[in-house]
Structure 1
């Protein structure tokens, strides 16, 4: 039995399932397997909670259309949740706790007993308070339960033709703001616009624009830093200042997930 068969068979005894689907490869593969096994009894749910970039939202819609699975959108505003916007080290926990509440409510309406997400084995090694919050709401992770690593997920997603198989990992826009600095709509907007500008002018896919008290710190993979010659950096700086950043620099150490997860003054 192949790994994909194992994942599909995980759904064999399930009646109706909701898949929390972002725009990434992990939840896409879970949704694919669920739909293959359950057909229309599998429903993908994407939360548009105002800290998800428009790009991620569009990717999630595209993935659902590739799979053929029904997609429902949860529409709410995380910026109304003070536990989230105060942005301390428990931000992800409160984000996922709120998401879990919305998913449980929807599951009740849809008469669904099982909610699943795209957490995989590689996620378990990082500091991920959000995973703990989902567990508290009884949300299960088929990729963990069937022992999938990130590389296996990408390989199988490619073999079944999912366009996101090589999509760089992403996280919500609030993760670009250091702990201790409040999350606001204004910051999220300039971060999203800033990352779009950098991607367009450099053609780099994996980009983070960190908002450090109004200063933009651009993070890309180390081998992509050379794309920022003087001409390109001047153009980026000009555009980022227009959208509200006070200064712009490229992080010479390169991209590293969670780099700014320290309490900032």
Structure 2
């Protein structure tokens, strides 16, 4: 199936929009195919501000209506941080979107899961299946690489945006999630962004920061080592550099 065929079958859709590569292209493809489409962005403690800023920019660029839904994601099943935390998080987020979308007259909800995403180890995908959320990029066999290629051709600024998982993924399974930890993580990552780094993670290890960077940025990290340590140690006990480098 092609995306144009999908949207002929589903001409009126709501899209769970994160501001990332996949859901951005999905919105673009829906509009280009002539579908009536509305974007829903969930703002919670798990999403940094730049994701909302990117979502607003993309929606404006392609003239898509977007609703921002504030959600208190720090519920009991989520903050205990079990191994299937994503299941509870996804259910809460998508039920919120579905409720609003139905009030707005949309009965079909889409998400940006693509054909490269491994469903075997993603509890969140179980929640999407239970809620009958459709993933047209996956259904149409579009991989991450293909979505980036098409996004670039379409002139979407998100085409080369690094993959970005929510802030909760920086906290080890079983470690309680708090708003303070999430805020500190966002602060640390914003600082590293300001130095020009991209596609990195600041992970919590007890009360230390474990920094993961792509290998091509390691030399730059060492050049900024002193100031990174001085700044981050104002809010962490130790600053650790992970030599098992990041891969998308």
Is the structural similarity TM-score above 0.5? yes
Q: Which residue of 1 aligns with 2:9?
A: 13
1:160 matched to 2:151? The reply is no
1:98 matched to 2:92? The reply is yes
1:65 matched to 2:56? The reply is no
1:204 matched to 2:200? The reply is no
The alignment yields a C-alpha RMSD, in angstroms, of 1.5
TM-score, normalised by the number of residues in structure 1: 0.90
Q: Which residue of 1 aligns with 2:141?
A: 147
TM-score, normalised by the number of residues in structure 2: 0.96
Are 1:48 and 1:75, in contact at CA under 8 Å, matched by a contact in 2? yes
Q: Which residue of 1 aligns with 2:237?
A: 246
1:220 matched to 2:210? The reply is no
Q: Which residue of 2 aligns with 1:109?
A: 103
Query: What is the CA-CA distance between 1:56 and the residue it aligns to?
Result: 0.9
1:33 matched to 2:24? The reply is no
1:44 matched to 2:44? The reply is no
Query: What is the CA-CA distance between 1:228 and the residue it aligns to?
Result: 1.7
Are 1:20 and 1:118, in contact at CA under 8 Å, matched by a contact in 2? yes
Figure out how many residues of one structure are paired with residues of the other and give that number: 248
For 1:24 and 1:173, locate their aligned partners in 2 and report how far apart those are by CA, in whole Å.
Answer: 14
For 1:95 and 1:38, locate their aligned partners in 2 and report how far apart those are by CA, in whole Å.
Answer: 32
Matched residue of 2:211: which SS?
strand
Aligned pairs for 1:178-197 within 5 A: 178-197=172-191
Are 1:24 and 1:169, in contact at CA under 8 Å, matched by a contact in 2? yes
For 2:89 and 2:175, locate their aligned partners in 1 and report how far apart those are by CA, in whole Å.
Answer: 16
Are 2:119 and 2:125, in contact at CA under 8 Å, matched by a contact in 1? no
For 1:16 and 1:249, locate their aligned partners in 2 and report how far apart those are by CA, in whole Å.
Answer: 49
For 2:47 and 2:131, locate their aligned partners in 1 and report how far apart those are by CA, in whole Å.
Answer: 21
Query: Which of 220, 233, 240 is the aligned partner of 2:225?
Result: 233
Query: Which of 135, 149, 168 is the aligned partner of 2:129?
Result: 135
Query: What is the CA-CA distance between 1:125 and the residue it aligns to?
Result: 5.2
For 2:53 and 2:11, locate their aligned partners in 1 and report how far apart those are by CA, in whole Å.
Answer: 28
1:184-207 residue CA offsets vs partner (Å, 9 max, x unmatched)? 111111111101111222x12111
Are 1:16 and 1:38, in contact at CA under 8 Å, matched by a contact in 2? no
Are 2:3 and 2:140, in contact at CA under 8 Å, matched by a contact in 1? yes
1:132-163 residue CA offsets vs partner (Å, 9 max, x unmatched)? 11111010000011110110000000000000
1:98-154 residue CA offsets vs partner (Å, 9 max, x unmatched)? 012112211220111110000011112562111111111010000011110110000
Q: Which residue of 2 aligns with 1:56?
A: 51
Q: Which residue of 2 aligns with 1:22?
A: 18
Structure 2: gaps (5+ residues): none
For 2:227 and 2:203, locate their aligned partners in 1 and report how far apart those are by CA, in whole Å.
Answer: 18
